[in-house]
A = this chain, B = another copy of it.
């Protein structure tokens, strides 16, 4: 039964004693083909179980309808979620997504780009590897006039479309929330200062403190690798200190969680004695007790915006676009770990600001 041979438009043409061009046009609903033949062709195509060969079409039209996405790893919730967002949008189009993982390696990233270019993708969305500092391999993409959009990670020096989250604002909101809850002595768990996101988060924290005329003492800011274990360690240290802070804003959910563990063990009430806010809205933040207030990075929305930006670019490819930086507004997800008072307002404004760079 399985006729290994796939039917092509030529097979249909032969059967109907017309030419392949007519079949092609009929299937694509070309205005110059009579309704009668259209109907006939479509019916015959179905009978012969015809399935278009998009590779042939891609070759002819110079358009593959493939989008390449390069991420460090799919195995992390944030990136999987971005991909999910991308697909949500592209699902309504003819585009398919090819996923490549760089494992945060520059070499791998280069070979990913090479493979995607060879596959004639129509666009590339990428979150570059940690190792990447030089962007010449990305410029190859632009030279080929293939739309490139960076997401999550970006660098101002490399001018290209980008969709990122506003870490500064996220931290600001988190700190402001703690202040609204009546906290005054707020400790900040910060990350390595050479990483821009951690610098931005610290700045957001400091700015919120200053605006409320709270002093940002040096010893309130503690740097670490922000892992679970560090959170535990830092909490122990805090317990040794003279004055207990009334809140902690951690630049990472993991460190926040580690600290929570220790406080709970020492019968310190959360949020009454110490309120805690994390960053990233990892899935476990909703699962632990009390729920951990955290800054959501809108990973899915980030993917959606990226894909939509690409589609927009297609529409008017005529003009030479200035690269656009889309900054997503992070959302503070308020849970019990920081809620000393009755909730006052819900922050759900995620509309991005468009900034031309």
Sample (28) of A-B pairs whose CB atoms are under 8 Å apart: A2-B143, A4-B145, A6-B144, A51-B117, A52-B118, A53-B59, A55-B59, A55-B119, A55-B120, A56-B59, A59-B59, A66-B119, A74-B74, A74-B83, A74-B84, A74-B87, A75-B81, A77-B80, A83-B99, A84-B101, A96-B115, A99-B99, A228-B287, A254-B287, A265-B289, A283-B283, A284-B284, A284-B288
Would you give the shortest CB distance from A316 to chain B, in whole angstroms?
18
Q: List 7 A-B pairs, minimum CB-CB distance, nearest first.
A: A284-B284, A75-B84, A80-B80, A2-B143, A54-B118, A55-B120, A74-B80
CB pair A98 B98 closer than 8 Å = yes
Chain B residue at minimum C-beta to C-beta distance from A75: B84
With A74-B83, A119-B55: A287-B284 Cβ-Cβ less than 8 Å: yes
CA A101 to CA B84, docked complex, whole Å: 9
* Extra contacts besides A51-B118, A75-B81 (18): CB < 8 Å: A2-B143, A2-B144, A52-B118, A54-B118, A54-B120, A55-B119, A55-B120, A66-B98, A66-B119, A76-B80, A87-B101, A254-B287, A261-B289, A283-B283, A284-B284, A284-B287, A284-B288, A288-B288
